Structure 1
């Protein structure tokens, strides 16, 4: 992939891009800027930001709002349960620390993408392409792994997106079940999940995301209303430190780790957002879009986790919406609105999964198949529904996929990419410090992946054995 990109986007292609830009601006408002770009190219310099031909570029504010929207999902609603596992003091400190580490790793990834784009003379790269190009310039043993890095990244991205869809499916079923159970007896959340299979398949057949914009805007309004109701209940409850643990059981800390990673790391939207910006140089920096967005996200997650745990204590459930008083109408409204919001958002998450599996792998093999259109969506929706029905535990799902996928995508891979990108310059004391820093990030990520994944799977097995014993 990377070699093909390099071959087709040469030095002359960059100059051609400048000429196209010149033709676009008939009012000559950017003549001086284009001349400077032309001079920099002729001098052997290449700035990828000057050649990003985005049809509908987003402003800094729009990008910030997209970043916030991409991070405010089921993860924030699971933060009180995360604090239950960690304790309120350790949870506060650890959430802030993990959030800062995630932000730093995203900065590394964006910086490496920019540097590799300059070297390859391309305007932007995807996450898998960045990984492949970086490894090609790294130490010899990593260069051998470069051809496989695209598939490794795609595998983790696919697992993450499908895992998110599983979480969304469980969330929809559980919230609807808790409302219906107030009026009917014997309502099973598994049957509700199965009932949503066909609607989810139909909405995921929408190929043009622009058609989902009105629904997405509607979902944002519903989210604000739902969060307002949750805030009302948090204020209404007694916020107390009595019977609340400052530090939780260390055996449960991996569950906290996976949940926080799942909640904080919107790694799937970071690079696309930066690539679609009108001024992508504003994304990084000390007061850039990323830092402002991540600071806001970390703050909201800490507050939701802290006050949610202090309000409900050991009674907290996998999502704070489950803990609201089901007999009251406002609580029922919040649950239904959240279920509807997540139903709409499901298509956006599945869109990425379909893009990876279909456009990069299956489309070539099934190009001439008469059933191509029908095969594009259902198998992934069916797999997510089956897994959600089999394991309807949202808190453990979140912890599992957070630890399994985001330890790699959000922490380990950016550190490896950073090391490989600047491998030839890592000399002297500075080089040793950078290598040591990245080494410890990778070790921390691998430990989080192994321990977090194994702990989540162990808890899932315990849930099954407990439920099995209760039915016998």
Structure 2
């Protein structure tokens, strides 16, 4: 089949496993409803009851714009080189190779390698965080029925890994669409139930609203930044999802629809969660829900299933980045089997990362600040300039360049301060490991399971959440 323009929808109609607009919408909604969503109340707490929601709206708008200009750049570059679609790394390579700024032309391969490295880091981070989220909620539910003999969280992770490995053997994105649709239905129903719980809790004055700060100290803002960027976590899946569309010219409309829904839900969910639980909010709000009521126990299980589906979507990006580089070293007759072995290895790698993370909230902050800032706010504006820049003389070019410079500076500041603050907090958490282990070994009692690291493997402790 001859190569056609990327924005010619007829080209996609004849591709295997292409997705409809509705399926694309489902994938985009699901890609944004990950572990970061359930930590939004904790995120708002780190900024303040007024500053938090305002900052989330601003970040949502900028992230949506970054997704759009990344897709627009991909379209333009495909028209220039005659390809049907490109992934994030290829877009970077082509933008540098074809740029009118000649200095960049020889460094396309370097640019692609850098982008793919950050993509791999953030996607592995997402998948590891899903392990922690699912295992934490399942452990809490298990503890509700077996209070005197609850295994360490790593035990639940190992059991979970078996099912995730089997799920990740699904090789085509359109085969995951039904799972995304079901997961989105679960999220909608579950979020409505949680909304009513939060509103009822606020009405009962669980928290003295007047005691909540409008804006937190500036030292807390880096810890807001990382989880906020992390929550809008679909930048790595935008091009893989768009590349599978039957009608790519509709992508902007689908993107704006999905991200408008996402941003509205994020802001209201995070604000109500903080208003309800105040400073006592957990880094995953599901852990604040009642532990002894059947409805909320069921919700925790269902939300864990949603994260299970999200794992598959984020894992799809990891495979797209890594398997093409590996398969050329595998004999052709063994490539299908080799891919399954490779997928299994990657899942086990995320299991190892998850089992050694001391604190979900801090890990999310690090991933969001380090990789999220770069991929969402720094690279897309640079790629747009490399793609469309043809001199500083036109008004449109000046306005675009000014806008992109502001976004890049914004991203760099968040990257530096957010990453530094997250690393400092993580090191502080690791310093407490020896004391915590001694407490566990001496008393065989765990008071707060969400902050306990891998030393839990040393004991069969009784867990009191």
TM-score by length of 1: 0.83
Distance 2:433 2:6 in 1: 59
- Residue in 1 aligned with 2:447? none
2:423 alignment partner, one of 451, 457, 466: 457
1:388 aligns with 2:347: no
Alpha-carbon shift at residue 64 of structure 1 (Å): 2.8
1:56-78 CA-partner distances (Å, limit 9, x unpaired): 65444443333222212222111
- Residue in 1 aligned with 2:31? 70
- Residue in 1 aligned with 2:103? 141
Counting only pairs closer than 5 Å after superposition, residues 13-412 of structure 1 correspond to structure 2 as: 13=2, 48-50=7-9, 52-54=11-13, 55=15, 58-138=19-99, 139-184=101-146, 185-187=148-150, 188-209=152-173, 211-238=175-202, 241-284=209-252, 288-358=253-323, 360-367=324-331, 372-373=338-339, 375-412=341-378
Residues 368 and 121 of structure 1: CA distance in aligned 2, closer, same or farther (over 3 Å): closer
Alpha-carbon shift at residue 164 of structure 1 (Å): 0.7
Distance 2:174 2:91 in 1: 27
- Residue in 2 aligned with 1:427? 393
SS where residue 50 of structure 2 aligns? helix
Alignment check: 8 A CA contact 1:200 1:381 kept: yes
Residues 206 and 107 of structure 1: CA distance in aligned 2, closer, same or farther (over 3 Å): closer
- Residue in 1 aligned with 2:462? none
1:301-342 CA-partner distances (Å, limit 9, x unpaired): 000010000000111001110111212222211111111222
Alignment check: 8 A CA contact 1:426 1:434 kept: no
1:469 aligns with 2:413: no
Alpha-carbon shift at residue 417 of structure 1 (Å): 0.7
Residues 216 and 115 of structure 1: CA distance in aligned 2, closer, same or farther (over 3 Å): closer
Alignment check: 8 A CA contact 1:60 1:277 kept: yes
1:418 aligns with 2:384: yes
SS where residue 283 of structure 1 aligns? helix
Alpha-carbon shift at residue 247 of structure 1 (Å): 0.6
Alignment check: 8 A CA contact 1:110 1:271 kept: yes
Alignment check: 8 A CA contact 2:25 2:258 kept: yes
Alpha-carbon shift at residue 282 of structure 1 (Å): 3.0
Residues 93 and 215 of structure 1: CA distance in aligned 2, closer, same or farther (over 3 Å): closer
Alpha-carbon shift at residue 152 of structure 1 (Å): 1.7
**Computing the radius of gyration over CA atoms, which structure comes out larger, 1 or 2?**
1
Distance 2:339 2:231 in 1: 33
1:447 aligns with 2:447: no
Residues 433 and 193 of structure 1: CA distance in aligned 2, closer, same or farther (over 3 Å): same
Alpha-carbon shift at residue 257 of structure 1 (Å): 1.1
Alpha-carbon shift at residue 95 of structure 1 (Å): 0.7
Alignment check: 8 A CA contact 1:78 1:320 kept: yes
Residues 282 and 125 of structure 1: CA distance in aligned 2, closer, same or farther (over 3 Å): same
Residues 466 and 236 of structure 1: CA distance in aligned 2, closer, same or farther (over 3 Å): farther
Distance 1:350 1:197 in 2: 13
Alignment check: 8 A CA contact 1:52 1:124 kept: no
Alignment check: 8 A CA contact 1:261 1:406 kept: yes
Alignment check: 8 A CA contact 2:6 2:85 kept: no
Distance 1:100 1:212 in 2: 28
Count, aligned residues: 427
Residues 382 and 58 of structure 1: CA distance in aligned 2, closer, same or farther (over 3 Å): closer
Alignment check: 8 A CA contact 2:74 2:86 kept: yes
Distance 2:158 2:6 in 1: 50
- Residue in 2 aligned with 1:26? none
Distance 1:57 1:350 in 2: 18
